[in-house]
Copies of this chain bind each other. A is one copy, B any other.
Amino acid sequence: MFTRTAATLGQLNRNAETGKRPSYSQPLFDCIELQGAAMPFERNAEIFGESEPADYVYKVLTGAVRTYRVLNDGRRQISDFYVPGDVFGLELGEEHSCSAEAIAASTVLVVRRSAVVALAERDGRIAGRLWNLTARQLQRAQNHTLLLIKSAQQRVASFLLEMAERYSSGSAVELPMTRQDIADYLGLTIETVSRMLTQLEGAATIELPASRRIVLCNRSALTRLNS
């Protein structure tokens, strides 16, 4: 399947580490001599599909990734967004419970799951890191369910604060995803997301110099909304 230039994870981590923001995930593979392959994906390319065998574990090097599930009627629920340094696609079972796609042109480090698992069996600390990784995902999933019972305005405010935290380059946020992605993450429609943003702009809480660029002028107002 992946017959590309192999690289040690140490090397690739260094690449990832040059990214601007602090990684949200554990430095899972640091200081390990696992063999991995850096794979390029173009915008909207599928990285893996739901219920495909989960033979690999992935780490974003550049770009951004979304994981999602779809209902029979076509509605899509985005589970999470991943940015450089984040690990995704780690499953305990034999198959993926969601699909993954590149949001923008991205490079992703791909490692055989069996190699990671074998390593964990020999080294308890690695096993602990895997557990930690899953626990963080759980934490995020639980926050996500809390988000979905809030009002539209609150969801958008929460989203902006979350993005700002992950992409903390001052008060400006450069979003890698479309309004449709945001809507599918928040359980809203693009129209509602757009309206809430204009509303926040009207209240001078944010500025929208470009549709993908958002400046948070009044974080405390967002936090207050956040509920």
- B residues within 8 A CB of A191? none
* Copies of this chain in its oligomeric complex: 2
Q: Is A132 part of the binding interface, using a Cβ–Cβ cutoff of 8 Å?
A: yes
- B residues within 8 A CB of A73? 227
B131 touches A97 (CB 8 A): no
Q: Is A139 part of the binding interface, using a Cβ–Cβ cutoff of 8 Å?
A: yes
Residue of B at shortest CB range from A125?
B121
Q: Is A144 part of the binding interface, using a Cβ–Cβ cutoff of 8 Å?
A: yes
Inter-chain CA distance A13–B91, complex, in Å, is 28
- Size category of the A interface is 35 or more
- B residues within 8 A CB of A145? 77, 79, 141, 144-145, 148
- B residues within 8 A CB of A148? 145, 148-149, 187
Chain B nearest CB, measured from A110 CB (Å): 21
Q: Mark A86-117, 1 if CB is under 8 A from B, else 0.
A: 00000111000110000000000000000000
Chain B nearest CB, measured from A21 CB (Å): 22
A:127-159 near B, CB below 8 Å: 127-128, 130-132, 134-139, 141-142, 144-146, 148-150
Inter-chain CA distance A134–B93, complex, in Å, is 12
Chain B nearest CB, measured from A102 CB (Å): 21
A132 touches B77 (CB 8 A): no
B132 touches A92 (CB 8 A): yes
Inter-chain CA distance A144–B145, complex, in Å, is 7
**Residue among A73, A131, A136, A148 facing the most chain B CB atoms (10 A cut-off):** A131
A: which residues have CB within 8 A of B? 69, 71-73, 75, 77, 79, 91-93, 97-98, 121, 124, 127-128, 130-132, 134-139, 141-142, 144-146, 148-150, 187, 227
* A-B CB proximity, top 6 nearest: A92-B135, A141-B141, A148-B148, A131-B131, A138-B138, A149-B187
